[in-house]
A and B are shown apart, each in its own frame.
Chain A
Amino acid sequence: MLSLLWLIVALPLCGFLLLAIFGRKFTKTVAGIIGVGTVGLSALLTILIGISFIAGLSHTKIYVQTLWQWFYVNGFNPSIAFHLDSLSMVFIFVITFVGFFIHLYSAEFMYDEEGEYSQFFAYMNLFVGSMLILVLADNLLLLYLGWEGVGLCSYLLIGFWYKDPANGTAARKAFIVTRVGDTAMAVGLFYLVMNFNTLNLSSILSSAQQQWPSGSVMAFTASILLLGGALGKSAQLPLQTWLPDAMAGPSPVSALIHAATMVTAGVYLIARTNILFILSPPVQTIVAIIGTLTLLLAGFSALTQYDIKRVLAYSTISQIGYMFLALGVGAWSAAIFHFMIHAFFKALLFLGAGAVIISLHHEHNMFKMGGLRKEMPVIFYTFLIGSASLAALPLITAGFYSKDEIIWFSWSSSIGNPWLWIGAIIGAFTTAIYTFRMVFITFFGDTKMKPHKKPGNLILIPLVVLAVLSVIGGFIQTPSSLGGVSIFSSFLNLTLPAVITNHFSEGFEIFFQVITVVLALLGIYIAYILYARRRPAERNKSAAANFLLYGWGFDWIYDRLFVRPIVWLAEIDRHDFIDYFYILIAWITGLGNTILKQTQTGKLRWYAMGLVIGAILTISIVLLS
C-alpha cells in the first residue's frame, strides 16, 4: 500500500496537465469532475496509506520511496524521492483532505464567476501537487521545487481575476515579498550543499548533529537563512505585508493557500529541519520572539479591519505567529497540532466568508452586512463554530486545545519565557475580541442586505464537515488536567523531538489555563458589548484605528524604504547612461551613411569613372609592389 505514495502527488499533477492542455474543450462539469476528482482520489489514497502507515509503525517509522535520480553533477545527486514519516503524514492528510473539501466548494463557488473555470481548477490542482511535493520531499532541492511551485500558484490564483489591476498588483506584491524570503532560503541551501555536498534531509540533519557543535556559527548561518525563507512564506514579521493583500483572490484560494496550507510551509520547514534550529539556540529564540511579535501585531490589526476577509487574513498571520512561537520554544508537536486545527477552522471561516460575500454581490465590508443569522442559518452556525474554535472557546472547541498547549509551553518549556507567555495570552484575548466582533457585525442585528442566492449543497457540505473537524479535532490531544490524551503528540514525536518542560505542579498548570479561559471569555464578552449591543454603523475612523487598519504602517515604511528608491532608480535608468555608448555607435553609423550617400548620384558615368579609377589603383598597386 505504501508503495502507492507517488500516486498521491501524481494524481493532482495529472489533473493539472489534463486541465491545462485540454481545459478549454471541457465543459464546466467535466472540468469540475477532473479538478475535484483527482484531489478526492488523492485524499482517499492518503487515508488508505495513512492506515497502513499507522498499522506498520511497529517496524517502519519512515518510508522512503525513491522514484528516480534527478540529476548528477560532480557528486551532487539529488533524487526525486518521497519521504513519509509522521510529520509529512499529518501534512499530506491536511492538504489532501481539506484541499478536497475546498475543491468541492469551489466547484459550486466558481461556477458562475468570471474567469476560465477549468483554468481555476488547473491552478488549484497544480497547487495541491506542488504542496504535496513540498511536504513529501526527501531532499531540500525537491522541497524547494514544491516551495516555488506553491508560490507560483499563489501568484496565479491571487491574480485570477486579473481584469482588475488591483488584483494583479496584489499578486505581484505577494510574489515579490515572498521572493525576498526565498532568496534567503536559496542561499541557505547553497550553504548546506557547500558544507555537506548533499541536500538529502536525513543525511544533512544527522551530519549536522555530528559535525556542528551546539551554538556554532555554521548552524546559526544555516538556520537563520532557512528561517528567512520560512518568514516570507508564512507571512511573519517583517515579511507579513503580502498576506492581507492576497485576499484579492477568490475565497476558496484564500482558504486553501492563504490559510490552510501554503502559508504554513514555513512552519513545516522549521519543524522538518528542527535539528539545525536546536543547534543554534539564538535563532530559536528569534523564532519565538518573531512569532510573539507577529501574533500581537496582526491580532491588533485584525481588530480594526472592516473587510471580512482581511480580518481573517490578519488572524491567519496571528495564528501562524502562534505556531512560530511554539516552534521557538521547542514545542514542535504543539505547532503542528495548531497547524492542523487551524487548517480546519480557518478554511471553514474563509469558506463561510466566501459564501457570505458571493451571496451579497461581492460585498466585503462587514458594516454593510448584518442580520445574516436568519438568512443563512447553516453558514451562520458553521461560521460560529469556526469562530469559537479560533477564539479558543474552552473545552468544546479544537482551537482551545491546540492554542492552550502553545500558551502553556511558551512559559513551561525549558526555553520558554514569561514574556512570551504574556504576549501569547494578550494575543488570545485580542483573538477572541476580533473574532466575535466579526461574527456579531456580520450575522447579528438588522438585515442590511438580502442575500440574492442560497448556497447549494456543494458549498454547505464542506462547511459542515470542516465544522465537525473544528470541534472533534481537538480531542486527540488534551492537556494533562483534562484527560491528558496524547495521541497526536506521541504520533509526531516519532519524528520530532518531544518538548522539554520545566517542572510545574499540576495546580499551577490549571491556574494558567483558567487565566487563558477567562481572557478568551472576557474577549468574547467585550465584543458582545461593543458590537452586538451597541451596533456601530461604521468602522472607527480615528487615527489609531487607521494605523492598525493599515497594518502598523509597514506598507508605508516599505514603500518609502524600498519601492520608491527603486522606482526612482528606474526613472533615472530610463535615461540610461550606459545606453549612450550604443547611441554613439548608432550615431557614427548614421554619419557614415550621410557622407557615403553623396556618392550615390545615379549618374552612370560617375559610376563608370569609379570603376576605372578603382581598376587603375588596383593595377598600380599590383604592378608597383
Chain B
Amino acid sequence: MNNVPVMAGLILTGILFIIGVMGVLIRRNLIFILMSIEIMLNAAGMAFIVGASKWTQPDGQVMFIFILAMAAAEVAVGLALILQVYNKFKTLDADSLDKMKD
C-alpha cells in the first residue's frame, strides 16, 4: 500500500468524480444518473481511503464505511423513486420529467 503515491490515488479519485459528474449531466436515463451518483460517492470514499493511508489513521476507513452505508440507503430510496416515476409517467427520460416547473 505504501508504495502507491498519494498523488496518483487522488488523480484517480478526481477522474472517477469527473466521470460521475459528467454522467449525471449528460445521461438522460434516470438509472444511469443514479449509477453516476454512485460513482461520485465512491470517488469521494476513495479520497478518504487515500488520506487514511497517508496519515495512517483509521478515521478515513471509518468514513468510508459510513459512505458505503449511506450509498446503500440512497440506492434503495432512489430505485424505489425511479420505480414510482416509471409507474406514473411510463418513461425514465429525465428531460421529459419536468412537471416540477409549475
Contact = CB atoms under 8 A, between A and B. Distances in A.
Contacts of B21: 612
User: Which 6 A-B pairs have CB atoms at the shortest separation, nearest pair first?
Assistant: A602-B101, A602-B98, A602-B100, A604-B94, A603-B98, A608-B24
Contacts of B28: 605
Contact of B95 (A600, A605, A609, A612): A605
Given A603-B94, A603-B95, A608 B25 contact: yes
Given A605-B24, A609-B25, A612-B25, A600 B94 contact: no
Which of A601, A608, A609 has the most C-beta atoms of chain B within 10 angstroms of its own C-beta?
A608
B90 interface: no
B28 to A, nearest CB: 7
Nearest to A616: B21
Interface in B30-56: 33
B101 A600 contact: yes
Size bracket of the B interface:
10 to 19
Contacts of A604: 33, 94-95, 97
21 contacts: A600-B101, A601-B98, A601-B101, A602-B97, A602-B98, A602-B99, A602-B100, A603-B94, A603-B98, A604-B33, A604-B94, A604-B95, A605-B24, A605-B25, A605-B28, A605-B33, A605-B94, A605-B95, A608-B25, A612-B21, A612-B25
Contacts of B100: 602
Interface in B41-93: none
Contacts of A608: 24-25
Nearest to A609: B25
A605 B98 CA distance: 10
A600 B25 CA distance: 17
Interface of B: 21, 24-25, 28, 33, 94-95, 97-102
Nearest to B28: A605
Nearest to B22: A612
Interface string A581-616: 000000000000000000011111100110010000
Nearest to B101: A602
Which interface residue of B28, B33, B100, B102 has the most chain A CB atoms within 10 A? Answer: B100
B55 to A, nearest CB: 23
Contacts of A600: 101
B10 to A, nearest CB: 15
Interface residues of A, number: 9
Nearest to A612: B21
Nearest to A603: B98
Contacts of B95: 603-605
Given A602-B101, A603-B94, 18 more contacts: A600-B101, A601-B98, A601-B101, A602-B97, A602-B98, A602-B99, A602-B102, A603-B98, A604-B33, A604-B97, A605-B24, A605-B28, A605-B94, A605-B95, A608-B24, A609-B25, A612-B21, A612-B25
A585 B79 CA distance: 46
B8 to A, nearest CB: 21
A605 B21 CA distance: 11
B99 to A, nearest CB: 6
A355 B48 CA distance: 100
A605 B102 CA distance: 17
A612 B24 CA distance: 10
B25 to A, nearest CB: 6
B61 to A, nearest CB: 26
Contacts of A612: 21, 25
A565 B96 CA distance: 64
A350 to B, nearest CB: 70
Nearest to B36: A608
Contacts of A602: 97-102
Contacts of B33: 604-605
A603 B95 CA distance: 6
Nearest to B21: A612
A603 B102 CA distance: 11
Query: Which one of B98, B99, B102 has the greatest number of beta carbons of chain A within 10 Å?
Result: B98
B13 to A, nearest CB: 15
B44 to A, nearest CB: 13
A254 B81 CA distance: 79
Contacts of A603: 94-95, 98
A601 B99 CA distance: 9
A234 B95 CA distance: 82
Interface in A20-46: none
A449 B69 CA distance: 100
A265 to B, nearest CB: 67
B26 to A, nearest CB: 8
B39 to A, nearest CB: 14
Nearest to B100: A602
B11 to A, nearest CB: 17
Nearest to A597: B101
A600 B101 CA distance: 6
Contacts of A609: 25
A35 B102 CA distance: 64
Contacts of B94: 603-605
Interface in A305-339: none
Contacts of A601: 98, 101
A602 B25 CA distance: 15
A608 B25 CA distance: 7
B100 to A, nearest CB: 4
